[in-house]
Amino acid sequence: MKPMLKIDKLAVEFGRGAQRVQAVRGVSFDIAHGETLGLVGESGSGKSSLGRAVLQLIPVAHGSVQLEGRELVGLSASQMRPLRREVQMVFQDPSLNPRQRAGDMLDEVLSTHSLHQGASRGPRIAQLLQLVRVDQCVPVRAMLVGNVHVFVCVQVREREKEI
């Protein structure tokens, strides 16, 4: 069976000339439908650079990124935009607005991605937040770190991502 996501010999470099630094070197892996991949490594080991390269947010020095058999390396920003609804990355320390309330933040996600339009959005927000035991009126700054990660995962899940 063909993998959903296939990374082959991916490399990411920063800088110029003698100042070039390899942030990611020769990474290869496959992710099948229904699988989850968590990257673990020391600070500065290239985890975020790898994720950004997969999403084509930073240039790939060489290697291949295939989503459902389609090569992503070399696609333009406009070609990548619709694909970014299908692929999401959850960062270890997500940057959330600390003054915004959890319910408002989820509402923004649903609105941005045109999910649960109109009157159906409010009940869906309440349902999602109840699922992870977060009050929709709580400001993000009051959430524990673990709750923030769960909250971000709910945002991603609600976008109905497969990856």
Q: Are residues 110 and 57 in the same domain?
A: no
Strand order in the sheet with 5-14: 21-31, 5-14, 62-67, 70-71
Q: Are residues 23 and 78 in the same domain?
A: yes
pLDDT at residue 140, rounded to an integer? 65
Instruction: Return the number of other C-beta atoms located less than 10 Å from residue 162's C-beta.
Output: 13
pLDDT at residue 64, rounded to an integer? 97
Per-residue pLDDT reduced to its tens digit, 44-59: 888 889 988 998 999 9
Q: Are residues 80 and 41 in the same domain?
A: yes
- Alpha-carbon distance of 93 to 105, in angstroms, equals 16
- 5 phi/psi in degrees, rounded to 5: -125, 130
Q: Are 47 and 39 in contact (CB under 8 A)?
A: yes
| Domain annotation covers residue 127 | yes
Which residues span the domain enclosing 24? 5-85
Which pair of tokens denotes residue 108?
A: 């923004």
> Could you say which DSSP state residue 40 is in?
-
Q: Are residues 69 and 38 in the same domain?
A: yes
- Alpha-carbon distance of 97 to 86, in angstroms, equals 24
Q: Of the candidates 59, 85, 111, which is a domain's last residue?
A: 85
> Could you say which DSSP state residue 8 is in?
E
Q: Of the candidates 51, 85, 119, which is a domain's last residue?
A: 85
| Domain annotation covers residue 66 | yes
| Domain annotation covers residue 71 | yes
> Could you say which DSSP state residue 139 is in?
B
Q: For the whole model, what pTM was predicted?
A: 0.62
Number of domains into which the chain is organized: 2
Q: Are residues 66 and 106 in the same domain?
A: no
Per-residue pLDDT reduced to its tens digit, 13-49: 999 888 889 999 999 999 888 777 777 788 888 888 9
pLDDT at residue 102, rounded to an integer? 77
Per-residue pLDDT reduced to its tens digit, 86-127: 776 666 555 566 777 778 877 877 777 666 677 777 888 888
- Mean per-residue pLDDT of the chain: 78
Q: Name which of 70-74, 89-93, 146-150 the model is least confident about.
A: 146-150
| Domain annotation covers residue 90 | no
| Domain annotation covers residue 68 | yes
